[in-house]
Every structure is written in structure tokens, then in C-alpha cells.
Amino acid sequence: MDTVMRRRHYILGAILLITNTIFSQSIETSIRKFAKKEHPNDAKMEQYTYKKQMAAYKYMLTVKDPEVREIAERKYRYDYSMQKYTYGKQLAAKRYMNTVDDQKVLSIARREHLRDFSKQKDTYDLQLSAKIYMADVTDKSAKAAAERKYPDNYFMQKYTYDKLVE
């Protein structure tokens, strides 16, 4: 029985090794094709792109946040360098969004951009700025009209208010 189990482990290990080798060669091949497509007439740039893509691919294997990784992979399926860049940008935005205070503005940003932290951050900042602006406006009737028209969008309230008071 012990010998049978050992054989199974060796066979399983060999299968995993072969599968991993084939997959690694497949990734290398696809990255080489990507680099060739990007720079078909420039061997130095092709090699540079290949190295950059391979490094980014290896980096993406180490990332910790699966939600942010999925955003980057969905947006740039075959461009690992852009995945790495997008991952960093999205992760920073996600961390920022976890620190914001205004829950009403946060809900607007999340509603508008459910699966994109970077866009949530931009929307949050834009909406918060407009909310602060609207708190200090002086024409009360124009403010009331803008709030009635766009009760859940401070940016559009600001835009409407500005048009009304022109």
C-alpha cells in the first residue's frame, strides 16, 4: 500500500511539473508574440517589451488583493505591464476610498462606479467639491431648483445652479 501511494505522489508531481512547464512556455510564447506585435521592426524594443511584460507578469502573480487584480486583468487581459500599473492605481484608490468620511457622497461614487475604485475616487472628489460649493451658494431659489432637479448629484446641482445664476 505504501508503494502505491508513493507512485501516485510521483505521478501527480510529474503531472504538475509538466503542466507548470507547459503553462510557463505558453505565457512566454504569448508575451513574445505581444512584444513582436508591439514592435515588429525593432528587435531592441521587442526585447525591452518582453522583459518588461515578463517582470509585470511575475509581479501580478504576487499581488494580494483579488478584487483589484480582477479589475486590472479584466481591463488589460494580455498586457501585463498595464495590469501592473492599473493594479497599483486601483489599489491606491481603494485604500483612499476606505478612508473617506462623507457617506452620502461615497454612496454616489459607489453607485456610479461599482467595480472601479479609481473612478470611484475621482467621482467622490468631484461630488464632494460640488457639495462644498453648494453649501456656500447665495441664491436660495436657484439652489432649491438645482437640488430638486438633481437630489442625488451634487456635481449636477452645481452645474444647474451656475447656469441659473448666469
Q: pLDDT by residue (tens digit) across 108-161?
A: 999 999 999 999 999 999 999 999 999 999 999 999 999 999 999 999 999 999
Q: Report yes or no on 134 lying in a domain.
A: yes
Q: Please provide the average confidence, as pLDDT, over all residues in the chain.
A: 91
| Domains of the chain: total | 1
Q: Report yes or no on 157 lying in a domain.
A: yes
Q: Which residues are CB-neighbours of 97 under 8 A, at least 6 positions away?
A: 106, 109, 117, 120, 121, 124
Q: Report yes or no on 115 lying in a domain.
A: yes
Question: Would you state the pLDDT for residue 16?
Answer: 53
Q: What is the pLDDT of residues 82-116, one digit of tens each?
A: 999 999 999 999 999 999 999 999 999 999 999 99
Q: Report yes or no on 91 lying in a domain.
A: no
How would residue 14 be classed by pLDDT, with cut points 50, 70 and 90? low
Q: Report yes or no on 159 lying in a domain.
A: yes
**Which residue range(s) make up the domain with 166?**
101-166
Q: Report yes or no on 135 lying in a domain.
A: yes
Give residue 56's identity as a one-letter amino acid code. Answer: A
Q: Report yes or no on 144 lying in a domain.
A: yes
